[in-house]
Amino acid sequence: MKRIAVIGTSGSGKTTFASSLARRLNVPHIELDQLHWNPNWQETPRDQFIEKVRVATDAPAWVVDGNYTTKVSPIVWQRADTIVWLDYPFRVILFRLVIRTFKRLVLGDECCNGNRESWRMAFSKESIILWAFQSHWRHRREYGAKLRDPAHAHLQQKRFRSPAEAAHWLNQVQQKHESM
């Protein structure tokens, strides 16, 4: 495991998990949201985003988190040797998103590149919670199909269906890495 992509629905904890895994492996953590979103929630133009991802994933080892299925996942998946899929039940995702969104709204926590969630965003068609409703089951179908595709046979696959399962694996990774 040198190049790991962490995927899952918004709210599954991809960034937290990937950051923890990267620390345990002592490799860079690449957050796709950081490469995609500029200040004031301006998207990086597609060609520039793709180039940023290409450059970031040229390194010999990394942990990437994020989906961006139609934009850059073909690059990331081709270069990765391992996929970690945080495939949690929707009730877990929804609970996490509601708590995270509320904390960000109340505390003013930054999401990425100076961007912050707003009350307007939280209750609009741009809501991350609404996005989870729209994408959770679609991601399950798409990721299941993609991971069965022979084009991705080179990938070691880890699919976790609960946060406890993922945490247990992280601890195993740390123990294995410490014993090396």
pLDDT digits (tens, 9 = 90+) for 141-169: 999 999 999 999 999 999 999 999 999 99
CATH code, domain carrying 88: 3.40.50.300
pLDDT at 107 (0 to 100): 87
Separation of alpha carbons 109 and 130, rounded Å: 20
Give the number of domains in the chain. Answer: 1
pTM comes to 0.91
51 occurs within a structural domain: yes
CB-based burial, 29-58: b 16+ in 10 Å, e otherwise: bbbbbbbbbbeebeebeeeebbebbeebbe
Separation of alpha carbons 53 and 112, rounded Å: 16
pLDDT digits (tens, 9 = 90+) for 116-139: 888 777 778 888 888 898 999 999
94 occurs within a structural domain: yes
57 occurs within a structural domain: yes
Token pair belonging to 141: 């179908």
62 occurs within a structural domain: yes
28 occurs within a structural domain: yes
167 occurs within a structural domain: no
105 occurs within a structural domain: yes
**pLDDT of 180 above 80:** no
150 occurs within a structural domain: yes
Domain that holds residue 143: 3-161
Local confidence band at 88 (pLDDT 50, 70, 90 cut-offs): very high
pLDDT at 163 (0 to 100): 97
pLDDT digits (tens, 9 = 90+) for 30-48: 999 999 999 998 999 999 9
pLDDT digits (tens, 9 = 90+) for 50-79: 999 999 999 999 999 998 877 888 899 999
